[in-house]
Amino acid sequence: MPVMAVHSETFEIRTKGKGTYEITSQVEAILEQSKIASGIVTVFVRHTSCSLVIMENAAPAARRDLENFFERLVPENADYEHDDEGPDDSTSHIRMALTRTSEVIPVAARKLQLGTWQGIFLFEHRRAAHRREIVVTVIGE
Amino acid sequence: MPVMAVHSETFEIRTKGKGTYEITSQVEAILEQSKIASGIVTVFVRHTSCSLVIMENAAPAARRDLENFFERLVPENADYEHDDEGPDDSTSHIRMALTRTSEVIPVAARKLQLGTWQGIFLFEHRRAAHRREIVVTVIGE
Amino acid sequence: MPVMAVHSETFEIRTKGKGTYEITSQVEAILEQSKIASGIVTVFVRHTSCSLVIMENAAPAARRDLENFFERLVPENADYEHDDEGPDDSTSHIRMALTRTSEVIPVAARKLQLGTWQGIFLFEHRRAAHRREIVVTVIGE
């Protein structure tokens, strides 16, 4: 009978300002190291000014439309109370809250069960370069 | 002592254009087959132009208000770069990103611990009919 | 070899109208009782008119900006079909759908792996006081 296990690793990604950065291969590498064949992978970003989104992985234009939509939906030039760190301070938290901090992806036959067009992306909401920590936890057998 | 296990199944739902489609009973059926009494159920949709939402399951008017809100918030007639598949192309990805791709629901005494008014819905963002794959993974004992 | 286990508890929080209410310490207390050292904590809110958000835990102004943004994005004075329970009826469901119903946080060395500035918050979308049920499920070893 297979034995249930937990495998967890944290990796870092360096962002160079606002935008979406694919992290699918880093998540896949941790899954492979875990030797877990079936179960779930949970992805968690340890920040409140960037977020996660599972998005179309083929057309960069689709991601630019997403990024531009968030610029219009949560504009920097609105009247925010919290702007200690600049005009992208409160906007980055609001854009984070509208997307995701954690995501759960099923695993079967040792592979992430993403659809054909799905990639996992870090969504950076800050103008400046940042180091971002992402925790990947695999649970299964 | 109870033994931890993983049980996973994929089912398909056929959508007939934009709207919310309840999938609670399909998720419950997979939970029942799993024989797992306590733990979690994770639901994952393998697409980037539809999404998941746990929503009010009693009043259809509440769901129509939600659907109409998304039509206004992410309008089809805005200026998108990515429109290869029509005016519902980028809008469907943006509406997906604003809702959820994965959801986790607790299980106790063999039952989903949804609140009285909560149902699980697929939120279709495409005008045309589609087949949508949903992966349900139960982990527990 | 460590043994995998599930530990689940439900707690209640009393809200006093719209706003964000921190629940990090309640989640930490349940994790501590579970004796689980590594794995995941899932948090689930059993309602459709409030939601969860992992948000900046230091500056109350950042949370006020978030709350005010949602007042503007999903205004009460728009034309909703579903208003049986008042002007905050459909708006509360829409604001819920734009944020989260479930969240998954990794656990290592018996601690939640939240980032320095992350807190877990219940986001109440109703004007009136409510009792809200939150289910916390810990899975790990």
Which positions in chain B touch C74 (Cβ < 8 Å)? 69
In this predicted structure, the answer to whether residue B49 has a pLDDT above a threshold of 90 is yes
B69, closest residue in chain C (CA to CA)? C94
pLDDT confidence of residue A84? 84
Q: Do residue B8 and residue A108 have CB atoms under 8 angstroms apart?
A: yes
CA A84, A52, C58 angle in degrees (round to 5)? 30
Residues B115-137, mean pLDDT to the nearest whole number: 98
* Chain C CB within 8 Å of residue A52 CB: no
Write the DSSP string, A26-80: HHHHHHHHHT--SEEEEEEE--SSEEEEEEESS-HHHHHHHHHHHHHHS-TTS--
Å between A12 CA and nearest CA of chain B: 23
Of the candidates C55, C33, C53, the one whose C-alpha atom is nearest the C-alpha of residue C43 is: C53
Q: Tokens 């920097």 correspond to what residue?
A: A76
Chain B neighbours, 3+ Cβ pairs < 8 A: A, C
A119, closest residue in chain B (CA to CA)? B48
Residue from B27, B70, B77, B82 whose CB has the most chain A CBs within 10 Å, to mutate: B82
pLDDT in tens, chain C (141 residues): 678 999 999 999 999 999 999 999 999 999 999 999 999 999 999 999 999 999 999 999 999 999 999 999 999 988 899 988 889 999 999 999 999 999 999 999 999 999 999 999 999 999 999 999 999 999 999
* Chain B CB within 8 Å of residue A100 CB: yes
* Chain C CB within 8 Å of residue A74 CB: yes
Of the candidates C64, C60, C63, C124, the one whose C-alpha atom is nearest the C-alpha of residue C88 is: C124
* Chain C CB within 8 Å of residue A90 CB: yes
Write the DSSP string, chain B: ----EEEEEEEEEEEESSEEEE-HHHHHHHHHHHT--SEEEEEEE--SSEEEEEEESS-HHHHHHHHHHHHHHS-TTS--S--TT-TTHHHHHHHHHHSBSEEEEEEETTEE---TTEEEEEEE--SSEEEEEEEEEEEE-
Which positions in chain C touch B53 (Cβ < 8 Å)? 97
pLDDT confidence of residue A83? 85
Q: pLDDT per residue over B54-83, tens digit each?
A: 999 999 999 999 999 999 999 998 889 998
Q: Contact at 8 Å (CB) between C54 and A101?
A: yes
pLDDT confidence of residue A85? 86
Q: Is C100 left (phi over 0), alpha (psi -120 to 50) or beta?
A: beta
Token pair for C101: 């119903």
Chain A neighbours, 3+ Cβ pairs < 8 A: B, C
Q: Do residue B98 and residue C98 have CB atoms under 8 angstroms apart?
A: yes
B68, closest residue in chain C (CA to CA)? C80
* Chain A CB within 8 Å of residue B97 CB: yes
Rounded to whole angstroms, the Cα distance separating B22 from B28 reads: 12
Please tell me which of the candidates C89, C93, C139 has its beta carbon nearest to residue B40.
C139
* Chain C CB within 8 Å of residue A68 CB: no
Spell out, as residue ranges, where chain A has pLDDT lower than 50.
Answer: none
Which positions in chain A touch C56 (Cβ < 8 Å)? 48, 93
In this predicted structure, the answer to whether residue B1 has a pLDDT above a threshold of 70 is no
Q: Do residue B55 and residue C97 have CB atoms under 8 angstroms apart?
A: yes
pLDDT confidence of residue C8? 98
Residue from B7, B20, B36, B40 whose CB has the most chain C CBs within 10 Å, to mutate: B40
pLDDT confidence of residue B77? 86
Question: From the CB of residue B118, how many other CB atoms can be counted at a distance below 10 Å?
Answer: 21
pLDDT confidence of residue B2? 79
Q: Do residue B46 and residue A141 have CB atoms under 8 angstroms apart?
A: no
Rounded to whole angstroms, the Cα distance separating A24 from A29 reads: 9
pLDDT confidence of residue B30? 98
* Chain B CB within 8 Å of residue A58 CB: no
Which positions in chain B touch C93 (Cβ < 8 Å)? 55-56, 62, 65-66
Q: Contact at 8 Å (CB) between C65 and A93?
A: yes
pTM of the complete model beyond 0.95 = yes
Q: In a 3-state reduction of DSSP, which class is residue A104?
A: strand
Q: pLDDT per residue over B75-124, tens digit each?
A: 998 889 998 888 999 999 999 999 999 999 999 999 999 999 999 999 99
Q: Do residue C65 and residue A81 have CB atoms under 8 angstroms apart?
A: yes
* Chain B CB within 8 Å of residue A27 CB: no
Rounded to whole angstroms, the Cα distance separating B56 from B114 reads: 11
* Chain B CB within 8 Å of residue A112 CB: no
Rounded to whole angstroms, the Cα distance separating A89 from A86 reads: 6
Q: pLDDT per residue over C68-95, tens digit each?
A: 999 999 999 888 999 888 899 999 999 9
